[in-house]
C-alpha cells in the first residue's frame, strides 16, 4: 500500500512554476520530487526522521504518538518533510491550502540547494533511503534470530551514545585515514586495519571486521570477554568518535558491531543537519520569502502568506528561532555586501553620520550569500557575520536562571556576551564534548571517557544512566572524568554500583 | 496492512504501561494524577521516557532569546513554537516533554490487577440471569447476498472445480455457481449477565478531615475501576452519615462535612433499606464499603451495627468491607469491635486499616484480594 503519491495536475504545474523561479534566481539543486500524503503519513515520516522505512524501535512509536496527538489537538501541524537525498524527496501534506503548498515548495527548493552545495553535506550518502531500509531489514532479522528484547536493549544502549560524534569525521576520506594510519602504524601494529582503507560502506566494513574477528576468535579460543586489542597495545589517540571506537574495540558479537555500525552511520548522516540548523532554515526561509513575494504570489494571497510567514518567524524568548535569525542574517549580509559595509575602510570609519549613510553600491550581496552557504556551518556563520547592529535590531539577549527568584531572567544585551553564548550553544552541536581517553584504564581494561568541561555541568542522573548503558556494551567498568559543582570527579560504574571518585 | 510504525507504537505503549505498573504505588498514593476522560478512558500523565544521554544540566546553561525586555525581566513566555514548516529533522526533538498516556479502563484495571495480583471475581447470579444475542460466527449455505462470505465461496468453488477436474492452472479462473455460495450466518449466543452494586458509606462527622476523605476518594476510585472491569453492569450508591444517614450523589459524598455525633447504625440501616428496595441478592453482587475513623457514639450502637451486619447486610453481600482511616481524633474503636466479633479471617467481611496515603494500595489489595 502506497501511503504517498506523486503530485499531479495543478500541483505538478505549480511545482514546475516554482522550479522555474528557483532556477531563475540561480539556485542549484538536486532533481526535486514532491509527493503528497495525508497527515497520518506525514506524522509517520516525521517520527522516522523523514524516512519511509527505519529499523523497528519504540522511540519512533513514541514520536509518532506525540505528533499524532499534537495534530489531533490542533497544537501543531507539519506542513512538509524534506530529506537530503538525490533526487531530493519532499512530502507535502495533502490538506495544505494552496498558499501553503506554494510556500512549502519554495522553501523546499532552498533546502535542496543547501543540501547539494553546503560542504558539510558533501560526505552524506544521498541514497540514504535505501541504506535506512537496509538497516531496518538487518535489525529486523537480528530480532528474529536473537530475540526482540535482546536486540532492542542493545539498540537502546547504542542510541544512548548516539550524540557522541566527532564532527571532523564528516570529512574523513579513505586517503586521510590511510595517511593517519601510516603514522599510527609506527606505534601500533594494526591487524584489522586493512578493511578501513576503502570506501565501502561503514556497515559493510563492520560486518567484514566482525567476520574476521569471529574467525580469529575460533582459532585463539579467547576467554569469555574478548577485548580485541591486547592490553599492551595502548589506544593511539583519544577520539571523540565514540561509536566508532566501540565498533572496533568493544567485545561485541558480530550482530552487535553491525548494529553499532548501522546506528553510527545514521547518526553521522543526520549530523550535518544538526550543525547547520540556522543556516539551512534561514536559507530556505530566505528563498521562500523571495520567491513568494517577488514571483509566485497573487495579490489575493498576500495576507494568507504574511500570516503563515509571520508564524514561522515568531521570535522565541527561551531559544532563538533558527528560521528568524537565519533569514535575517542572510538579509543583513546581503545588504552589507551590496552597500560595501564591510572591510577595513568601513570598520575604521569613525564618523557615525558617514557610516549610517554608507553605500558604495558594490552589489556583492547575492554573490556573498551564495558563496558563504557553501562553506560555513552555524558556528562559523555566527562567528563571522553576527554584528552588534544586528543583535540590537533583532532584540537578541542572553538569559540565565536566577536561583533567587527561581526563574529564567534576561541577563544582558551585550554583543560580546550574546555572541559568546550563541557560540557556546552551537559548539559540538549543543552536546558536551566527550572523548575516549583510555581503553585500558588502570591497565584493567576499563574504559575512561573524559568530558571537556566548558562551564556547564552534565546532568548527573542522565550521565549515570548513560554510563550503565555504556557498561552494557563495554562489559568492563566504565569511567567518566568530568567536573561537577566545581570539583573534579570521576564517575565509575562497575556493573553494580555507581561511585563518584574525587 | 498497517505501517510498521504501528508496531513501534504498540511496543512503546507496552513499555509505558510497564512503567505505569512500576510506579503504580506512586500514582495511587498521589491520588489525583489519573484523570478520567469520558466514561471509560483515563489519562495518565508521566514524565517522557527518554534514552539517557550525556547532556548538559538545565540550570547553569541559560541561553539566548529574542524579544523585548530589560535585564532581569523573566523570560517565560510562549515556549518555542512547534510545527514550523521546514522541519528538516523532526525526530530530533529536544527538551523534556510530558507524556499523556491514554489508557482504557480495561488496561488500567489490568495494570492494577497485575500489580496487586488480584484474583478475578467469580460473580454470582450468573446462572439466573442471561440474555441471548445473535452472533455471526457460523457459515451457512443460504442467506442474503449482503452476508455472502467471499473467501469461503471462492474456496468452495475452487474445491469443486479441482475435484471435478475443471480447474486449469494455466488459466486459473474460478467461477462460483449457485451451490458454492456460502453465507455468514448467525447463531444465538447466551451471554451471562451479571450486575454489581457498590454502596459506599462514609462517616462525615467532624473527626473525618480532608486528608481522610482524600484517602477514601482515591480508594473508591481504584475499587470502582476494578469492579467495573469485572462486571458488565455496575451501580454505585453513596451514603453519608453522622448521627443520621442520607443517600447523596458522588459530589456531595466527598464534599460534605458535618459536625454532629456518629451513629454508624444509621448508615447500616439505610444500606439495608437500599438493598431491600433495589437489589435482590439473588441477582446482584453487592459490595457495601464503609469508611470511618473508628469512632462510634456508644457501645449500644455498635451492638446494633453488628446485628444489622449479621442478619441483613452480610447475608446479602458478596463481601462487606470496612476501611478505617486513621485520624488524629478517631479512637479506632469500631475496628477493634469488629475484629473481636469476626476475627481477621471471616469469609464475608474484610477489615482494613489505612494509616495514610501510602497505605491505600495495600488496603485495596485486602479488599479485593479475596476474589469475591
Whether residue B349 contacts residue B314, with contact meaning beta carbons closer than 8 Å, is answered with: yes
Q: Is residue B60 a part of any domain in this protein?
A: no
Same domain, B160 and B250: no
- From A421's Cα to the closest Cα of chain B, the distance in A is 7
Distance set, CA A447 to CA A250, A294, A461 (Å): 10, 58, 20
Q: Residue A223: its pLDDT value, please?
A: 44
Whether residue A49 contacts residue B76, with contact meaning beta carbons closer than 8 Å, is answered with: no
Q: Residue A220: its pLDDT value, please?
A: 45
Q: Residue B84: its pLDDT value, please?
A: 38
Same domain, B147 and B248: no
Same domain, B276 and B202: yes
Residue spans per domain, chain A: 4-118+276-310, 128-274, 314-428, 432-501
Residue B170, exposed/middle/buried by CB under 10 A (0-12, 13-18, 19+)?
A: exposed
Whether residue B234 contacts residue B196, with contact meaning beta carbons closer than 8 Å, is answered with: yes
Q: Residue B303: its pLDDT value, please?
A: 84
Distance set, CA B290 to CA A343, B72, B321, B350 (Å): 86, 56, 6, 10
CB contact under 8 A, B55 and A411: no
Query: For testing the chain B interface, which of A399, A426, A491 should be mutated: the one with the most B CBs within 10 Å?
Result: A399
CA A16/CA B343 separation, integer angstroms:
86
Same domain, B206 and B325: yes
Using the structure block, give the residue that is written with the C-alpha cell 562553506. A375
Same domain, B293 and B167: no
Nearest to B74 among A3, A408, A462 (CB): A408
- From B178's Cα to the closest Cα of chain A, the distance in A is 34
Same domain, B107 and B10: yes
Collapsing DSSP states into helix, strand and coil, what is residue A395?
coil
Total domains in the fold of chain B: 3
Its sign, for the CA torsion A351, A355, A358, A362, is positive
Distance set, CA B170 to CA A339, B167, B173 (Å): 78, 9, 9
Helix segments in A295-387, DSSP class H: 302-313, 322-339, 343-348, 352-356, 365-375, 378-385
Distance set, CA A289 to CA A371, B85, B151, B219 (Å): 20, 13, 56, 59
Query: E strand or H helix at A254, and its extent?
Result: helix A254-274
Helix/strand/coil percentages in chain A, nearest 5 = 55, 15, 30
> What residues have CB less than 8 Å from A337, skipping those under 6 apart?
A362, A364, A365, A367, A368, A369
Instruction: Confirm or reject contact between A400 and chain B (CB < 8 A).
Output: yes
Query: For testing the chain A interface, which of B18, B51, B61 should be mutated: the one with the most A CBs within 10 Å?
Result: B51
Q: Is residue B15 a part of any domain in this protein?
A: yes
Q: Residue A261: its pLDDT value, please?
A: 94
> Which among A284, A241, A277 has a CA at the least distance from the CA of A110?
A284
Q: Is residue B79 a part of any domain in this protein?
A: no
CA B96/CA A371 separation, integer angstroms:
38
- pLDDT lower than 50: segments of chain A: 188-197, 219-226, 229-232
The whole-angstrom distance between residue B207's C-alpha and the CA centroid of its chain comes to: 30
Same domain, B353 and B236: yes
> Which among B223, B214, B218, B219 has a CA at the least distance from the CA of B196?
B223
CB contact under 8 A, B75 and A409: yes
Domain extent, residue B6, equals 1-50+98-117
Residue A405, C-alpha cell as written in the block: 527568584
Same domain, B363 and B232: yes
Q: Residue B127: its pLDDT value, please?
A: 47
Residue B249, C-alpha cell as written in the block: 450523589
- pLDDT lower than 50: segments of chain B: 77-96, 127
Q: Is residue B74 a part of any domain in this protein?
A: no
> Which among A248, A267, A241 has a CA at the least distance from the CA of A159?
A267
Same domain, B358 and B223: yes
Question: b or e along A361-385 (b: 16 or more beta carbons within 10 Å of the residue's beta carbon)?
Answer: eeebbeebbbebbeebbbbebbeeb
Using the structure block, give the residue that is written with the C-alpha cell 454502596. B199
Query: For testing the chain B interface, which of A57, A317, A319, A412 should be mutated: the one with the most B CBs within 10 Å?
Result: A317
Q: Is residue B316 a part of any domain in this protein?
A: yes
CATH classification of the domain holding B256: 3.40.50.410
Length of chain A: 502
CB contact under 8 A, B63 and A455: no
Same domain, B241 and B357: yes
Q: Is residue B78 a part of any domain in this protein?
A: no
Q: Which of residues 69-108 of A touch B (CB under 8 A)?
A: 69-70, 75-84, 100, 103-104, 107
Whether residue A84 contacts residue A121, with contact meaning beta carbons closer than 8 Å, is answered with: yes
Residue/partner pairs of B115-119 with CB below 8 Å, 24 or more apart: B115/B21, B115/B24, B115/B361, B116/B361, B116/B364, B116/B365, B116/B368, B116/B369, B117/B365, B117/B369, B118/B226, B118/B365, B118/B368, B118/B369, B118/B371, B119/B369, B119/B370, B119/B371
Nearest to A61 among B8, B71, B87 (CB): B8
Nearest to A315 among B61, B67, B72 (CB): B67
Length of chain B: 372
> What residues have CB less than 8 Å from A401, skipping those under 6 apart?
A407, A408, A409, B58, B59, B60, B62
Same domain, B135 and B234: no
pTM score, whole prediction = 0.77
Same domain, B200 and B311: yes
Amino acid at each position: 500500500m502506497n501511503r504517498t503519491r506523486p503530485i499531479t495536475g495543478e500541483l505538478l504545474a505549480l511545482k514546475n512554476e516554482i522550479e522555474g523561479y528557483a532556477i531563475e534566481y540561480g539556485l542549484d539543486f538536486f532533481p526535486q520530487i514532491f509527493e503528497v500524503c495525508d497527515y497520518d503519513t506525514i506524522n509517520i515520516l516525521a517520527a522516522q526522521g523523514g524516512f519511509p522505512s527505519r529499523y523497528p524501535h519504540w522511540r519512533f512509536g513514541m514520536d509518532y504518538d506525540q505528533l499524532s496527538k499534537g495534530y489531533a489537538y490542533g497544537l501543531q501541524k507539519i506542513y512538509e518533510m524534506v530529506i537530503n537525498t538525490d533526487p531530493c524527496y519532499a512530502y507535502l501534506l495533502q490538506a495544505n491550502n494552496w498558499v501553503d503548498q506554494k510556500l512549502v515548495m519554495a522553501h523546499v527548493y532552498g533546502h535542496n540547494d543547501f543540501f547539494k552545495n553546503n560542504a558539510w553535506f558533501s560526505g552524506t550518502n544521498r541514497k540514504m533511503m535505501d541504506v535506512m531500509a537496509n538497516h531496518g531489514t538487518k535489525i529486523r532479522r537480528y530480532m528474529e534470530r536473537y530475540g526482540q528484547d535482546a536486540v532492542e536493549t542493545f539498540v537502546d544502549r547504542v542510541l544512548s551514545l548516539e550524540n557522541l560524534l566527532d564532527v571532523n569525521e564528516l570529512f574523513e576520506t579513505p586517503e586521510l585515514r590511510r595517511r593517519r594510519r601510516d603514522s599510527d602504524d609506527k606505534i601500533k601494529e594494526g591487524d584489522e586495519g586493512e578493511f578501513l582503507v576503502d570506501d565501502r560502506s561503514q556497515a559493510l566494513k563492520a560486518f567484514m571486521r566482525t567476520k574476521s574477528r569471529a574467525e580469529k576468535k575460533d582459532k585463539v579460543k579467547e576467554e569469555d570477554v574478548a577485548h580485541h586489542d591486547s592490553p599492551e597495545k595502548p589506544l593511539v589517540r583519544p577520539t571523540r568518535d565514540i561509536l566508532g571506537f566501540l565498533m572496533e574495540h568493544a567485545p561485541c558479537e558480530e550482530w552487535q558491531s553491525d548494529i553499532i555500525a548501522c546506528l553510527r552511520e545514521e547518526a553521522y548522516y543526520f549530523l550535518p543537519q544538526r550543525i547547520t540548523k540556522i543556516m539551512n532554515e534561514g536559507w530556505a526561509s530566505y528563498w521562500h520569502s523571495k520567491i513568494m513575494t517577488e514571483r509566485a504570489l497573487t495579490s489575493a494571497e498576500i495576507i494568507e502568506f504574511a500570516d503563515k510567514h509571520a508564524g514561522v518567524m515568531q521570535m522565541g524568548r527561551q531559544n532563538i528561532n533558527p528560521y528568524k535569525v537565519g533569514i535575517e542574517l542572510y538579509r543583513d549580509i546581503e545588504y552589507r555586501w551590496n552597500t560595501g559595509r564591510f572591510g577595513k575602510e568601513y570598520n575604521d570609519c569613525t564618523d557615525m553620520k558617514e557610516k549610517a549613510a554608507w553605500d558604495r553600491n558594490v552589489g556583492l550581496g547575492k554573490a556573498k550569500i551564495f558563496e558563504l552557504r557553501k562553506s560555513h556551518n552555524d558556528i562559523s556563520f555566527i562567528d563571522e557575520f553576527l554584528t552588534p547592529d544586528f543583535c540590537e535590531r533583532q532584540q537578541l539577549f542572553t538569559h540565565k536562571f536566577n536561583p533567587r527568584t527561581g526563574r529564567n531572567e534576561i541577563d544582558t544585551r551585550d554583543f560580546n556576551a550574546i555572541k559568546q553564548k550563541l557560540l557556546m550553544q552551537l559548539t559540538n552541536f549543543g552536546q558536551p564534548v566527550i572523548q575516549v581517553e583510555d581503553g585500558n584504564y588502570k591497565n584493567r581494561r576499563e574504559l575512561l571517557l573524559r568530558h571537556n568541561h566548558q562551564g556547564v555541568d552534565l546532568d548527573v542522573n542522565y550521565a549515570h544512566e548513560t554510563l550503565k548503558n555504556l557498561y552494557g556494551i563495554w562489559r568492563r567498568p566504565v569511567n567518566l572524568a568530568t567536573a561537577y559543582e566545581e570539583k573534579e570527579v570521576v564517575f565509575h560504574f562497575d556493573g553494580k554500583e555507581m561511585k563518584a571518585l574525587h | 496492512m498497517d505501517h510498521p510504525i504501528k508496531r513501534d507504537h504498540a511496543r512503546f505503549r507496552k513499555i509505558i504501561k510497564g512503567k505505569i505498573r512500576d510506579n503504580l504505588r506512586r500514582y495511587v498514593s498521589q491520588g489525583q494524577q489519573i484523570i478520567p476522560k469520558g466514561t471509560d478512558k483515563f489519562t495518565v500523565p508521566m514524565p517522557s521516557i527518554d534514552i539517557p544521554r550525556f547532556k548538559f544540566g538545565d540550570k547553569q546553561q541559560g541561553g539566548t532569546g529574542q524579544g523585548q525586555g530589560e535585564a532581569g525581566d523573566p523570560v517565560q513566555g510562549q515556549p518555542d513554537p512547534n510545527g514550523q514548516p521546514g522541519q528538516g529533522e523532526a525526530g530530533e526533538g529536544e527538551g523534556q516533554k510530558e507524556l499523556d498516556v491514554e489508557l482504557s479502563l480495561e488496561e488500567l484495571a489490568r495494570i492494577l490487577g497485575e500489580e496487586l495480583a488480584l484474583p478475578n471475581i467469580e460473580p454470582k447470579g450468573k446462572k439466573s440471569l442471561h440474555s441471548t444475542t445473535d452472533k455471526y460466527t457460523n457459515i451457512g449455505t443460504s442467506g442474503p447476498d449482503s452476508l455472502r462470505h467471499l473467501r469461503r465461496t471462492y474456496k468452495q468453488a475452487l474445491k469443486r472445480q479441482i475435484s471435478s477436474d475443471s480447474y486449469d492452472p494455466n488459466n486459473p479462473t474460478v467461477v462460483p455457481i449457485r451451490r458454492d455460495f456460502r453465507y455468514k450466518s448467525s447463531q444465538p449466543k447466551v451471554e451471562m449477565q451479571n450486575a454489581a452494586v457498590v454502596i459506599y458509606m462514609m462517616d462525615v462527622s467532624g473527626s473525618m478531615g480532608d486528608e481522610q476523605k482524600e484517602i477514601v476518594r482515591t480508594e473508591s476510585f481504584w475499587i470502582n475501576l476494578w469492579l467495573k472491569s469485572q462486571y458488565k453492569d455496575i451501580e454505585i450508591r453513596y451514603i453519608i452519615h453522622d448521627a443520621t444517614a442520607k443517600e447523596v450523589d458522588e459530589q456531595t459524598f466527598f464534599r460534605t462535612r458535618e459536625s454532629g455525633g456518629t451513629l454508624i447504625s444509621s448508615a447500616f440501616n439505610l444500606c439495608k433499606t437500599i438493598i431491600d428496595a433495589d437489589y435482590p441478592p439473588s441477582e446482584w453482587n453487592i459490595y457495601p464499603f464503609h469508611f470511618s475513623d473508628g469512632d462510634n457514639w456508644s457501645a449500644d450502637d455498635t451492638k446494633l451495627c453488628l446485628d444489622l451486619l449479621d442478619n441483613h447486610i452480610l447475608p446479602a453481600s458478596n463481601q462487606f468491607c470496612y476501611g478505617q482511616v486513621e485520624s488524629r481524633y478517631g479512637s479506632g474503636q469500631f475496628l477493634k469491635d469488629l475484629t473481636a466479633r469476626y476475627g481477621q479471617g471471616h469469609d464475608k467481611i474484610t477489615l482494613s486499616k489505612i494509616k495514610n496515603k501510602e497505605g491505600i494500595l495495600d488496603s485495596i489489595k485486602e479488599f479485593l484480594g479475596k476474589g469475591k
